[in-house]
Structure 1
């Protein structure tokens, strides 16, 4: 959840009746969750191995979540292949996962 400050009271008002506000971002109250959808290619075990490394030992994982954090970016492009937004993730790890049904059509 993002937090802002300074928006409670107007900063000034112009002769034309326009009210000026100042808002300052103070960061995140807590670490946000990001949901991504991953399509795996047969034979590529990278994502599975990462999940296995961070899963708790009680669930047959290796329990090394603090040592297996990953950084990366999620980038959005417009129809002309121009980057329009980018979110940088730092020290992320999977919180949960869900496997959907597969069809061999």
Structure 2
């Protein structure tokens, strides 16, 4: 069977969607990972040989880090404020990291379930520096699905 001739995706444009609101100014996404525990089953076969089988275990929760240029938008700050003050019903949300192609069409969605912000970091500020100020948001999630 021949494999389909598909082009690989280019890291061009990303977005974060939370509660139906899309923030497209994301410049970097790192840490997207689906992982699960491994269970080792050690046993003897009927002919007396020792074997180790590896079985899939429970899925693990994860963290993703997003970076964007600092703007007047305070959605990240408001979201983390809810988590800091224990308003987890407001802070825990469903969302997705969306990858866009060059024509701004979504090509892949990484759906995050029960996600909430763990930390928000503003880049260092130095007088006379010409670098863009950024904010880095770390989001923890219980489960990730790829659509």
Which structure exhibits the higher relative contact order, with contacts defined as CA atoms closer than 8 Å and separated by 6 or more residues? 2
Which runs of structure 1 show a deviation greater than 4 angstroms over 4 or more consecutive aligned residues? Answer: 102-105
**TM-score for both structures, normalised by structure 2:** 0.42
Report if aligned partners of 1:68, 1:93 keep a CA contact under 8 Å in 2. Answer: yes
The structure 1 residue matched to 2:108, chosen from 73, 85, 90, is 85
Q: 1:40 to 1:72 in 2, by over 3 A?
A: farther
CA shift digits 1:5-44 (9 cap, x unpaired): 9xxxxxxxxxxxxxxxxxxxx68621111111133432x3
Say whether residues 1:29 and 2:29 are aligned partners: no
Say whether residues 1:54 and 2:87 are aligned partners: no
Report if aligned partners of 2:93, 2:116 keep a CA contact under 8 Å in 1. Answer: yes
Deviation at 1:102, TM superposition (A): 4.4
Deviation at 1:4, TM superposition (A): 9.2
RMSD of aligned alpha carbons? 3.0
CA shift digits 1:42-65 (9 cap, x unpaired): 2x333212211211xxxxxx2223
**How many residues were matched structurally?**
78
**TM-score for both structures, normalised by structure 1:** 0.54
SS of the residue corresponding to residue 76 of structure 2 reads helix
Report which of the two has the higher share of strand: 2
Q: 1:84 to 1:27 in 2, by over 3 A?
A: farther
Consecutive unaligned residues in structure 2, runs of 5 or more: 1-33, 39-55, 131-147
SS of the residue corresponding to residue 51 of structure 1 reads helix
Larger radius of gyration: 1
What does residue 9 of structure 1 align with? Answer: none
